[in-house]
Chains A and B, each alone.
Chain A
């Protein structure tokens, strides 16, 4: 984990309420896709945990949805704004388990961490199949970005206004070797049921600190109590214990 100051290079809407923010700063502590950063905002007490979409040596890209006052404030920030950010939080996806034909399933604002995952897999010479799920056509983002990585990319919409009608699980390919997923909990449960290989699922919870100190985001797993921020947010399918 590292605390440092980042500067906004770009902050643009991708849809009505999803924004892409590119920041310049020290990314040296980001070690895996699926990790997150925790952003301090003027006028808000707790930091905002946001998943890493993409990063390189000098820049960090996050894609976030406006869901409350904090993310609304973020959406109004201009180029040049400086932000105090904790980076390198969470475990991230383990790409060594991918096999040669992994599938990536992202739902809504769970799509951004799948981009980093796809990009890193491609760098390792593995082309994942990508399934992106949205409610309606107007909510779709990043389809072209995944295609630009050379990944076979399928989009599903609940209302059928674009791509395959239904959920990401309706588009699962044959013969995949491992899965990586991030999305709302009902989707994760559906993916858990529909998949027949081992896989990795990223979870979300309201957090206090984001670095393992406060026990605010604990959950029960088959391998014991875990902190979503520090021992997660990525859990192995095999260790998940659904509460309901």
Chain B
């Protein structure tokens, strides 16, 4: 095993860096810029049973040290993802990819996961029960332990691939939800999705975002993410993927010390399209600075 390598739910990764879903498309915009095989893997754009346009624009608002988005799960639907996006991805990415799945009913989640289960390129299924930007779905499954467990169990029935449940921070007790997913058979937990936020334009006195509210991400939420990763990883036995405002190799190490086995990077990709590649390249030097021989050794090292 290399100094940077980690094992996430039985799959060996060269490094723990994973561009987060919704910030990396299906990979090929970035493949034009650098060899995305330098990454551990990436989590592709949230995919649903049916095609979706998403929310009206404006979908984006800027914040101090972050941004709000209300894209609303725009994607071509699972059939087209399999027939059009995955073949294109195969040309530029040769590692197992993390398939991010969303839904509006337990049946939706199971349908989409069952389809993606048959795809050789898919390594992990990251099941998003935490999207704040769609009504009647997404986050509503992730804010209640019973519903999160129901989705987990339904997805586990239709796949042999590792199932990682992506959780929302917009809850009072994230630990109980994580534990419910673990008990229902989840192979891993990823967190945190975006925090529900809002901005108002002083000139128009209207919300900046057409959908009024959206998901707040970026460096501003990093401390919240570290805290929640720490809480959850200390309460469950399955691996935790940490994310939320990660922007540098130092942030990655902090997230791993908090308990993350792998680390996703979201909003930072939109500001610096090379950030994930740069983090992978920076890690050895930063590890040396903090006398870390292997990243695998520091997971959950903060006591």
Contact = CB atoms under 8 A, between A and B. Distances in A.
Interface of A: 1, 3, 40, 44-47, 86, 205-209, 211-220, 225, 230, 243
- The winner among A44, A86, A213, A230 for most chain B CB atoms within 10 A is A213
A3 B53 contact: no
A215 B270 CA distance: 11
A219 B271 CA distance: 22
Given A46-B67, A208-B67, A208-B69, A213 B33 contact: no
B58 A206 contact: yes
Contacts of A45: 62-67, 218-219, 267, 271
Interface of B: 22-25, 29-30, 32-33, 45, 53-54, 56-67, 69, 71, 74, 208, 218-219, 267, 269-274
Nearest to B22: A214
Contact of A208 (B29, B33, B60, B63): B60
A1 B32 contact: yes
Contact of A230 (B24, B29, B59, B272): B29
Given A45-B64, A45-B219, A46-B271, 7 more contacts: A209-B270, A211-B29, A212-B29, A214-B60, A215-B74, A217-B57, A218-B53
Contacts of A243: 56
Nearest to B75: A215
Contacts of B25: 212-213, 215
B273 A211 contact: yes
Task: Name, among B24, B58, B273, the residue most crowded by chain A CB atoms within 10 Å (CB to CB).
Answer: B273
Instruction: Give the 10 A-B CB pairs with smallest separation, nearest first.
Output: A209-B270, A216-B60, A206-B58, A215-B74, A206-B60, A212-B29, A208-B60, A208-B270, A215-B71, A46-B62
Contacts of A219: 57
Contacts of B32: 1
A205 B57 CA distance: 8
B143 to A, nearest CB: 24
A83 B64 CA distance: 19
B272 A3 contact: yes
A214 B69 contact: yes
28 contacts: A1-B273, A45-B62, A45-B67, A46-B60, A46-B62, A206-B58, A206-B60, A206-B61, A206-B208, A208-B59, A208-B60, A208-B67, A208-B69, A209-B269, A209-B270, A209-B271, A209-B273, A212-B25, A213-B29, A213-B273, A215-B22, A215-B45, A215-B59, A215-B71, A216-B69, A217-B60, A218-B74, A219-B57
Contacts of A207: 60
A47 B45 CA distance: 22
